[in-house]
Amino acid sequence: MGDRVSIAEPCMSVRLIDSLATTQPLAELFSDESVLQAMLDFETALARAEARSGIIPGSAAEAIAASAKPGNFDTASLAQASLRAGTPAIPLAKALTEHVRKTNPEAARFVHWGATSQDVADTATSLLLRRAQKIVAKDLLKLEQALLRLAEQHEKTVMLGRTLLQPAPPVTFGLKAAGWLGAVARGRQELLDAFHAAAVIQFGGASGTLASLGHPGDDCGIAVVKALSEELGFEKPPAAPWHTQRDRLATLVCACGVLTGSLGKMARDISLLMQFEVGEAAEPGGQGRGGSSTMPQKHNPTACSLTLAAAHRVPGLVASFLAAMVQEQERAVGGWQAEWPIIAGVVQSTGLAIASMAEVAEGISIDVPRMRENIERTNGVVFAERAMMLLGAKLGRDAAHTLLEVATKKSVVEGRHLRVILAEMPEVTEHLDAAELAHLEIPEQYLGSADAFRKALIVQSGQLESGNLEFGFIEYHRRNTGTDEEK
């Protein structure tokens, strides 16, 4: 089934309280050391951009870069000082200035030149998000590839449809997997686009005008913005500073919420299929995976439970971020200060859900005979709709519906197949012959457009991979309804 995603690597740098809310790569990404490095990367890039623009001496930029090493700072002290300052950037800039002063007192004058605290925090966030995008994209690719294999391998695997948790006419597991694939592919497109849009630098200075870098009409500030974006490896800078315009980040957070919800739906389906009474699917097991502290026989839906926990957690975080968007004037009081833990929590929860469901999709066990057995256990009552439609063409829908209500109740009470009950009803046999009744309960003959929908979802997911957002059903019919010559 390919290389499986592992979400429980040894030596995880994760706090115990966060152990069910992140993955090792994302925990490392949002660790103190990583966040500190991102802030220092901003200070280094700013100094070099300003040196390139002739605003500070080149020697000062190099001295600042030499001092901007994580080992020169105590994260615990910075965190404590941040509570007093209201932002980590103030104590960081002060500590960096002091360290530069030890080797180059003249260069120390130019630390954090023309920047404001939020420039540091927001650009550090963008740097972290750019790295997070690569992590989640890798796991999303594994998930989609695994779902595609399931959708194709089980194109003819019939199973009960279930509506309101009750048996319904049959579907295929291939269609179910394709449905998961379609939602994940759409969510992935939105998420990666949102990551790309949100990962931009922030550099506006005190009021978002960069007035400290030049006189009105000068292009010094614009030149530094461009050079800073290049130094940090971003494609292009934003049109203007965005200190109180949080729409890009909000779009990313919402995209995380939607995708995590889609993954939660997949997890809910699979966990229900794993119930003993259903027994149609099972998560991959392994050492320490899915067991119980008291019941040795259990094989719990562990990855599904982690995904569902994320799907429960993320909507509240999304709401918190949206509430914090209402930010005052040119700088918020409490709005952007609320964002770091929200963004970190949302991205890590989303990443955990993606990795968890990739692990499930790559190693899931499907019990095909049990799926057919569960259809058989209904004694054919799930085909009542089929019988009603056949009779409805002769008797009218209402009369046929009434007949089938009587027949299905009798089938349930007596434990006999629906086709047998119908064969004993003259008002039915007058219109349906023995051959029609004999074939009534064959699942493969009552799947409608299930396979067309399955193929359309697969086509759609492929289009999204290449950036084409055209609905896949149109493309499917274009490819499959023409003549051989046209194809």
Percentage of the chain beyond pLDDT 90 is 85
Written as one string, the DSSP assignment of 340-359 is HHHHHHHHHHHHHHHHHHHH
pLDDT of residue 11: 52
Minimum mean pLDDT among 6-10, 107-111, 297-301: which range? 6-10
Report the candidate in 24, 14, 7, 1 with the shortest Cα–Cα distance to residue 306: 7
Q: Which two tokens stand for residue 67?
A: 């001092």
- Domain of 279, CATH number, reads 1.20.200.10
Round to the nearest angstrom and report the end-to-end CA distance of the chain. Answer: 32
- Residue 2 falls inside a structural domain: no
Boundary of a domain, candidates 115, 136, 168: 115
Whole-number Å distance between alpha carbons of 133 and 256: 11
Q: Does residue 338 share a domain with residue 213?
A: yes
Q: Are residues 331 and 418 in the same domain?
A: no
Q: Decide if 15 is inside a domain.
A: no
CA–CA separation, 314 and 308 (whole Å): 10
Same domain for 454 and 305: no
Together in a domain, 312 and 204: yes
Domain co-membership, 64 together with 125: no
Same domain, yes or no: 217 and 327: yes
212 and 250 together in one domain? yes
Give the mean model confidence (pLDDT) for residues 437-465.
92
User: Are 431 and 302 found together in one domain?
Assistant: no
Last residue of a domain, one of 115, 131, 146: 115
Judgement on whether residues 355 and 248 belong to the same structural domain of the protein: yes
Do 195 and 235 share a domain, yes or no? Answer: yes
CA 62 from centroid of its chain's CA atoms: 40
pLDDT digits (tens, 9 = 90+) for 382-429: 999 999 999 999 999 999 999 999 999 999 999 999 999 999 999 999
If one counts the domains in the chain, the total is 4
Mean pLDDT over 38-56 rounds to: 97
The single residue listed with the structure tokens 């809310």 is: 21
Instruction: Output the pLDDT for position 14.
Output: 82
The answer to whether residues 312 and 229 belong to one domain is: yes
pLDDT-derived band of residue 300, with 50, 70 and 90 as boundaries?
confident
CATH number of the domain encompassing residue 417: 1.10.40.30
- Give the integer Cα–Cα distance in Å for 352 and 136: 9
Q: Is residue 135 part of a domain?
A: yes
Q: Given a cut of 70, is residue 124 above it in pLDDT?
A: yes
In a domain, 5, yes or no: no
425 located within any domain: yes
Whether 292 is catalytic? yes
466 given a catalytic annotation: no
The answer as to whether 22 is a domain residue is: no
Q: How far apart are CA 75 and CA 33, in angstroms?
A: 8
Asked whether residue 126 carries a pLDDT value surpassing 70, the answer given is yes
Selecting among 331, 370, 372, 416, the annotated active-site residue is 331
State whether residue 207 is helix, strand or coil: coil
User: On the CB side of 48, how many CA atoms lie within 13 Å of its CA?
Assistant: 16
Per the CB < 8 A criterion, the answer to whether 343 and 30 are in contact is no
Same-domain status, 431 and 307 = no
Last residue of a domain, one of 67, 96, 115: 115
SS3 371: helix
Q: pLDDT band for position 462 (50/70/90)?
A: confident
In a domain, 397, yes or no: yes
Structural domain harbouring 389: 381-440
pLDDT at 114 over 60: yes
Distance CA 8, CA 27 (A): 12
Report the pLDDT value the prediction gives residue 465, as an integer from 0 to 100. 53
Q: Give me the CATH number covering residue 46.
A: 1.10.275.10
Separation of alpha carbons 441 and 376, rounded Å: 9
Catalytic position from the list 19, 77, 292, 365: 292
Task: Give pLDDT tens digits for 50-102.
Answer: 999 999 999 999 999 999 999 999 999 999 999 999 999 999 999 999 999 99
**110 within a domain of the structure (yes/no):** yes
